[in-house]
Structure 1
Amino acid sequence: MKRPAKNVATDRNFVVALARGLDVLRAFRPNDGLLGNQEIAARTKLPKPTISRLTYTLTKLGYLTPVPRFEKYQLAPAAMALGYAALANLGVKHLSESFRDELMRQTGGACAVGARDRLSMIYFGQSKSSLTVGVQLDVGSRIPIATTAMGRAYFWALPPEERAQLLREFREHYGHRWSKMRDGLERAGEMVARHGFVISAGEWQDDVHAAGVAMTLNDGTGPYAFNCGAPAFRFTEDRLLNDIGPRLLTMVRNIEAALGGAAAPQSKKLDSKKIKSGGKVARIVEGL
């Protein structure tokens, strides 16, 4: 989910208690198993007494199951049903499956589709096989926006106002690490302008290379983003640029056509003067 753009301290319509309860549910990650109040407090940055009241309430409502022996909790079926209902309503996931499977077979890479969750992208559909054994991600996995191909493609598909807000969140969250990440985002913007796709070659994890393409639909949903990745030895930078990226771009445009969407605006070619260092792309990443 996206973080609210308004200052919640002055937004009279914002229900803080509800937001905190959802943050508790969000604290549970794939393969976590059990979490205690102290672990949830550390992840949510909320006081432990507040967490105790929230976990008690969520237990009474059926969203958490207590495990008294360990003094911890696990997600209950009611909470998981929310996620499954959301997935069931994502037509992008189901319609893109055959396209993703075909690209996986053609390239030997894992192909996924995701959407934003705060400063991360969360996978809600993935196609992989025994050939992609080096890719340790699955549905529900989160990857950072700023350093991954999927995330960077998503970033450059955002409307200017949302992109500016996300830039502010990046600067606040990453601190001294932001400068290097900003350079990567700038390069990604230039690549989208030239080619319609982005790549990340070892910028998130040393041994993972991937290409990314965003998709925006006419009905106002999205942006979503797709990636195709593999271990670095399988997807060299040259192959990403000349084979994987173009294939992924074609796949996403075919999915858009099947869903009745329109090509995302970031695929347009920019004037060559605007993509030089200090040009339009650089100013956007600087948040100007």
Structure 2
Amino acid sequence: MMLKSAEASGKDVPLYEDDLLEEEAKDRQFVTALARGLDVLRCFRPGDVGLGNQEIAERTRLPKPTISRLTYTLTRLGYLTYSERLGVYQLGSGVLALGYAMLSGLDIRERARPLMQDLANDANASVALGTRDRLSMVYVECCKGPGTVTLRLDVGSRVPIATTAMGRSLLSVLPEAERDYLMESMRERFPDRYPAVKAGIEKAMEEMDRYGFCLSLGDWQSDVHAVGVPLLSADRSAVFALNCGGPSFILSPDYLKNEAGPRLAEIARQLTAR
């Protein structure tokens, strides 16, 4: 049995739809047309059979004529394919090549995997390594325990930075100016939910100071518990985060605080020290 994530359900989840282009576009070196093309590729989610121009326009909030030109160009370049029978676009092999090149260059994945798998087996849960993409975290490695109940998340899955243990732990080690910029983006993007989001992040940062890890107990999904820790690359040039998460009836707060959290923090220390 796999718990159905909000992302996997195919429903729109506003916390994933983080649009920072308005601020970035003020930079004279910023190429808006390129950014829009990449946003078209970004709007495809795990489980999508295909998307038409109208659906892409709705997800990117760009005019449909603009989307038509972008999808045409991306198809010519091999980043999208078009099904005449279904009338939809799918990600092409060009995207896979880029993703594989990125993943193969992350040696931290290879070093982390056996440590992550040991914890996943012992906790009977999922253990993942992720990095930030705008206001989301993207999984670059994921290990699952032997149990029959798991989260429907894998490499390439996206989860919100604001409400997950993984995302909050990463926020805790970002430079203050970068964290403030992201917090302001959240406030502008989700004004109604921002007070709760801010309170959750502040609590997580207090937990980071006290325990070296932070918890998310039903904050992302009501039936999911998780613990997260930040992870710096050995040369301190990149910031990642680790989490251990699963169904709330398997991962109790006490277990996360007394067992999984300390082990996850130790894994991060081992990987950073190498």
User: How high is the TM-score relative to the length of structure 1?
Assistant: 0.85
For residue 4 of structure 1, report the CA deviation from its aligned partner. 6.5
Does 2:37 correspond to 1:37?
no
> Is contact 2:135–2:160 with CA below 8 Å preserved after alignment?
yes
Structure with the bigger RCO (C-alpha within 8 Å, sep 6+) is 2
Does 2:84 correspond to 1:68?
yes
Does 2:144 correspond to 1:128?
yes
Partner of 2:122: 106
> What is the Cα-based RMSD across aligned positions, in Å?
1.7
Distance 1:46 1:5 in 2: 12
For residue 217 of structure 1, report the CA deviation from its aligned partner. 2.8
Deviates more, 1:132-141 or 1:205-214: 132-141
For residue 218 of structure 1, report the CA deviation from its aligned partner. 4.8
Distance 1:3 1:222 in 2: 22
> Is contact 1:64–1:76 with CA below 8 Å preserved after alignment?
yes
Partner of 1:147: 163
1:175 partner SS: coil
Partner of 2:222: 206
Task: Give a deviation string over 1:3-42, Cα, whole Å, max 9, x none.
Answer: 7698344322111111111111111111212110001111
For residue 132 of structure 1, report the CA deviation from its aligned partner. 5.8
Partner of 1:19: 35
> Is contact 1:5–1:165 with CA below 8 Å preserved after alignment?
no
Partner of 2:98: 82
| Structure 1 unaligned spans of 5+ | 259-288
Task: Give a deviation string over 1:138-177, Cα, whole Å, max 9, x none.
Answer: 1111111111110100110101111011011110111111
For residue 116 of structure 1, report the CA deviation from its aligned partner. 0.7
| Structure 2 unaligned spans of 5+ | 1-17
Partner of 1:275: none
> Is contact 2:142–2:155 with CA below 8 Å preserved after alignment?
yes
For residue 53 of structure 1, report the CA deviation from its aligned partner. 0.3
Partner of 2:175: 159
Distance 1:45 1:251 in 2: 41
> Is contact 1:99–1:255 with CA below 8 Å preserved after alignment?
no
Does 2:207 correspond to 1:191?
yes
Larger radius of gyration: 1
Give percent identity, aligned residues only. 49
For residue 55 of structure 1, report the CA deviation from its aligned partner. 0.5
Q: Structure 1: which 4+ aligned runs deviate by more than 6 Å?
A: 2-6
For residue 222 of structure 1, report the CA deviation from its aligned partner. 2.2
Aligned residues: 257
Partner of 2:6: none
- Please tell me the residue identity of whatever aligns with 1:208: V
Deviates more, 1:2-11 or 1:187-196: 2-11
Partner of 1:219: 235
Task: Map 1:169-184 to 2 at 5 A.
Answer: 169-184=185-200
> Is contact 1:132–1:230 with CA below 8 Å preserved after alignment?
no
Partner of 1:266: none
> Is contact 2:117–2:145 with CA below 8 Å preserved after alignment?
no
Does 2:236 correspond to 1:229?
no
For residue 137 of structure 1, report the CA deviation from its aligned partner. 1.2
User: How high is the TM-score relative to the length of structure 2?
Assistant: 0.89
Pick from 259, 262, 265 the counterpart of residue 243 of structure 1.
259
2:192 partner SS: helix
